[in-house]
Chain A
């Protein structure tokens, strides 16, 4: 039966030839073959961005980037784990931005390289979540933070886009900044504020 989930697949991971059932992800295949793997393993559900891999498929010259927990093994695949890079190099605190009028100016102080984007699309092509990364950087550079942030709803902060950028832009942090200032300055829900006000006046105590 051709789609038997137990059928063994041969592939190469980090230079080691292994075989594992076809129903396995890259990480599961490693464990199945008896190789330890601790680093680069995280949530195992595609939301933490830890298990970044470079992949070349049989008969193709194209190298793609994916998440090892989500990637099913294929015959003849060649996979390399990418060690997680260093934390962000820029630094900012939201409370240092005095008002929403200042956000755009502050943004270019914190991320001066963002406007140097060469539009090489490297960031977009590495994104394992299919986000239009380059567009997000462009929008943020123009001060359109809410729109920029909206593009990055599914971003898992795997940092692949940062690795790909020749201008050393950290697009995922640009996007997260965009999302954070949007919340910090513009989310003011009246239902929450009412509730806080009522409780501040001593209302709504809990009787145990």
Chain B
């Protein structure tokens, strides 16, 4: 890999400039094929066991989907049992929306979450939420932009449902107490997203997700919903007809298992960023390790699009302790350019995210990036691994001073998080551009669902990032905060409805499906060494930590993974 121009030299040549010409080059699909990490076929394998056997899947994800369970029957002997109508697994935006709706419909709801309520990618979302509310915009346009961004490879009925629900979702959020940016007449303000035909993103500063999450969390705490924090689910339960009948929930507080028997289960565990696919840094929460995909897959749920992920163009590339941190697309939407080390634009900054990310990777791979190594000419550690991960030290400028030149004061007013981030990097983004590089941001694929958020396994519902099909091969900015509330609410309503109509009578509830899955793994000669779900990224050393409150260098006994 060409290393790029050293940071200090590139910075010396950088000049803030209000206008710069749009580059004329358009590489189209070829750009994606050559530089987008999804197109590296050697990064994929075909799954050998489970409902998606034969389908392509990212290598690292395949390892956990085809991993062995953390538990077997012996672990569960004597474990307490709890019954509920609806069990929600996951405490982010989708999980909270689902729990609130199920509770409102009269169901007894338990919400179990791996860390604290609200610990999720939702809280980190910055840019906003799409809903067609402007007079020259329609749900149809919203739908068509979504289809186009997705490269046409999406579940059209889900996308149609999402755009039609969008305005009502905004009303629901306001009634939960969420604020949005308003103009002088009290109307919702909108901004453009990459790949949209009209300004459609509603937002609150660059804290849209934080505002949403703290409001939903407060709403859940002030309801009848029972919240179990520090309680990751490690497996689903099934009945004799293979329907989902609850989950095995572990506790990080007392290291015990609880069997939660539920009439409906909703998985809302989010994505996989902390698996650091292709060695990329991530914008994701610490808990985003794909647990829900593993649980659903072993219980027999069909997944889709397991080979396509979103790399957000503007992750911070420097300094290293903040690498991967997100800078909202709203900054580009406000007119910030992307510049290579020579100060040239190289792509229309408001193309869909996959194109923009690929273009940044291209600039760096071809030596036109800015190299922020030690400044002493030490070679790149990851030299040669192109495209994709650099050593996290190469990037391009996000030209924030240019928007400040055009609209003085805009950064302080509209992007307080960016300003705060600048302080942490030791730069003032109004005067000096941050260095960015694509960061692993979103799992486009996931569990297959219908309009009611039902998975292919009866009794199991899925909502939010854990699902696939809504965004096809590429998601637009502002469509994920929308997706989680639309399908979170739908899942909650449908799960409560199913629980009400549930026949009584004895049902044998077991983890029998695990035995079958394990047999399949053995027949296929798959290694049983890898345990899943992961629960935490490897660097947190969860599996050697037997004391979660303290520090223990050498743990005597593993907790689950003994």
Please report A residues at the B interface, Cβ cutoff 8 Å: 1, 4-6, 13-16, 23-25, 28, 30-31, 34-39, 41-48, 50, 70, 72, 83-84, 87-88, 91-94, 149, 153-157, 173, 176, 179-184, 187-192, 194-196, 199, 204-208
Cβ of A191 and Cβ of B205 under 8 Å apart?
no
Counting chain A CB atoms within 10 Å of each CB, the highest count among B140, B180, B551 belongs to: B551
Whether A37 touches B540, Cβ cut-off 8 Å, given contacts A42-B119, A196-B171, is yes
List A contacts of B116 (CB < 8 A). Answer: 42, 48, 50, 84
Please report the C-alpha to C-alpha distance between residue A190 and residue B134 in the assembled complex, in whole angstroms: 10
Whether A48 touches B119, Cβ cut-off 8 Å, given contacts A39-B549, A192-B170, is yes
Cβ of B551 and Cβ of A179 under 8 Å apart?
no
Cβ of A28 and Cβ of B321 under 8 Å apart?
yes
Q: Is the interface of A mostly helix, strand, loop or mixed?
A: loop
List A contacts of B14 (CB < 8 A). Answer: none
**Number of residues in B with C-beta < 8 Å to the partner?**
82
Please report the C-alpha to C-alpha distance between residue A154 and residue B214 in the assembled complex, in whole angstroms: 11
Whether A39 touches B252, Cβ cut-off 8 Å, given contacts A84-B116, A181-B177, A189-B133, is yes
Please report the C-alpha to C-alpha distance between residue A67 and residue B555 in the assembled complex, in whole angstroms: 26
A-facing residues in B318-367 (Cβ within 8 Å)? 319-322, 325-326
Whether A38 touches B252, Cβ cut-off 8 Å, given contacts A5-B374, A43-B124, A155-B214, is yes
B60 touches A (CB below 8 Å): no
In the complex, which residue of chain B has the Cβ closest to the Cβ of A90? B222
List B contacts of A188 (CB < 8 A). Answer: 186
Cβ of A36 and Cβ of B167 under 8 Å apart?
no
Please report the C-alpha to C-alpha distance between residue A141 and residue B289 in the assembled complex, in whole angstroms: 43
Cβ of A176 and Cβ of B215 under 8 Å apart?
yes
Please report the C-alpha to C-alpha distance between residue A22 and residue B548 in the assembled complex, in whole angstroms: 25
Please report the C-alpha to C-alpha distance between residue A177 and residue B549 in the assembled complex, in whole angstroms: 31
Whether A42 touches B132, Cβ cut-off 8 Å, given contacts A34-B553, A47-B417, A87-B227, is no
C-beta contact mask, B303-315 vs A, less than 8 Å → 1, else 0? 0000000000000
Please report the C-alpha to C-alpha distance between residue A48 and residue B248 in the assembled complex, in whole angstroms: 27
B163 touches A (CB below 8 Å): yes
Please report the C-alpha to C-alpha distance between residue A208 and residue B383 in the assembled complex, in whole angstroms: 46
A-facing residues in B148-171 (Cβ within 8 Å)? 156-157, 160, 163-164, 167-168, 170-171
Counting chain B CB atoms within 10 Å of each CB, the highest count among A50, A149, A206 belongs to: A206
B115 touches A (CB below 8 Å): yes
B406 touches A (CB below 8 Å): no
Nearest-neighbour CB distance to chain B for A182, whole angstroms, equals 7
Nearest-neighbour CB distance to chain A for B255, whole angstroms, equals 12
List A contacts of B287 (CB < 8 A). Answer: 42
Cβ of A46 and Cβ of B171 under 8 Å apart?
no
Enumerate the 5 nearest inter-chain pairs by beta-carbon distance, A residue then B residue, closest first: A180-B177, A36-B545, A36-B541, A189-B188, A206-B160
